[in-house]
Amino acid sequence: MKNESEGKVLFNEECSICNFEIKHYKKRSQLQYENCSQMGDKYLKALYVEFPDGSEIKGVDAFIYVWSNTKGYGWLSKLVSFPGVYTFAKLLYAILAFILYWRFKLFNRILSS
């Protein structure tokens, strides 16, 4: 796992659920966070961590990175890293991320009408 000083967490600040969760992590970590709500659909579909060398991790892997670098959440990063749990978490995350993405897009479309 990369060092916490390396990665920047990209999250959709305009999504109330995403923002609520990230605000909690911000209080308990020294990670860098950046609002990606205007960076394009790619970044609205999953949580991303971007590294200085241009590499990225997303989804469950990004959450594992955040949890492993957030006070009190190391245990969760270890739990979700177990093979069976990891596979289930990726499936669950894909479903939840899909729902949140379309909820966000629909809500913004209604607001801009």
Using one digit for the tens of pLDDT, what is the confidence trace for 51-109? Answer: 999 999 999 999 999 999 999 999 999 999 999 999 999 999 999 888 877 776 666 65
Q: Cα separation of 104 and 87, whole Å?
A: 26
Does an H or E element contain 58, and which? strand 56-58
Tokens linked to 88 = 């289930």
pLDDT at residue 79, rounded to an integer:
96
pLDDT at residue 106, rounded to an integer:
67
Mean pLDDT of 3-24: 82
Q: What is the pTM of this model?
A: 0.83
pLDDT at residue 40, rounded to an integer:
72
* Rounded (5°) CA angle 77-82-85: 90
pLDDT exceeds 70 at position 11: yes
Cβ–Cβ < 8 Å for 60, 93: yes
pLDDT exceeds 70 at position 37: yes
pLDDT exceeds 80 at position 21: yes
Closest CA to 73 of 31, 18, 19, 36: 31
pLDDT exceeds 90 at position 49: yes
The domain segmentation of the chain, as residue ranges, is: 8-112
For residue 53, CA distances in Å to 9, 12, 22, 28, 31 come to 14, 22, 24, 26, 17
Does an H or E element contain 93, and which? helix 83-112
